[in-house]
Amino acid sequence: MQNTISLGPLNLPALPVLLIISVVAGHLLLRLIYRKRSEDYSRGSDLFFSGLLLFLGGWKLSLLLTNWQTVLKAPLALVYLTGGIINFIAGFLAACAGIALLVRSGKFRLPDIKTVLLICALSAVVLFPLVLLMPSSFTDSPSETGTVTLSTLEGRPETLELTGASVTIVNFWATWCPPCRAEIPELIEFYKEYKERGVRLIGVNMTTTESSVRGVSTFIDDQNINFPVYLDSWGEASTRFEINSIPVTMVFDKDGNLIRQKTGAVDSAWLKSSVRNFTD
């Protein structure tokens, strides 16, 4: 499934947008079903959104435990990182516990939980076709990228190599981009663990959008970036890979086939799942 939806120059993450659409549609369908039971509909809807807020709180706050080093270095990571299955489980448990307490307090009743489950079911009925209709963000065929010439911080030309390593990850970023800054600690920690396991990680700075190369160099030093960073000084890479918004992370196998891609901040959970089948 394509992971972004373009609205003119604005790129929005696809899954949250589809979830919002499906929840709205689920509520409209519930309204039709409960058209003669408006009070039951209102209570059930209120309990659903209370649970949703608890899920979001538990999901995001759990990043303080699983990604605490990143959050300390880049607090915006709480906004941009999604985490892994553990974080979603934490959100789910927070929602279940909160709903149980709300029912126990007498503010809501047990039948309201059935209404919440009905909303979830109706939303899922709408969501699944939407996900299936979303186009894939890439094909499984070998990438026809040809040779892309970048440059080092010292100004030497450098060819972007996509073959040879068991897996190559290319991350497109810029210093002024908040989600790019938020994901840097995750990339550093991931590369520290996986660089000896056949993983090549390359940062490609969108230099045509930067104010100066010196600023990029200073940022790299300040962040102690441990993977090679090359400059897209002429916009060749961004044009060839059709980079319209950043950050973008692309994962290639040893033959240069594009196997996974994400627009938006990545975290260690996403990176590790991307290389799991290609490392020892």
Find tokens 């929602």 and name the residue.
95
Band of the pLDDT at 146, cuts 50, 70, 90?
A: low
b/e per residue 93-106 (b: at least 16 CB within 10 A)? ebbeebbeebbeee
Q: Is the pLDDT of residue 150 over 90?
A: yes
Q: What are the structure tokens assigned to 253, written together?
A: 């196998």
pLDDT tens digits, residue range 23-60?
999 999 999 999 889 999 999 999 999 999 999 999 99
State the pairing for strand pair 10-13/4-7.
Answer: antiparallel
Find tokens 């799942």 and name the residue.
273
| Amino acid 142: pLDDT | 40
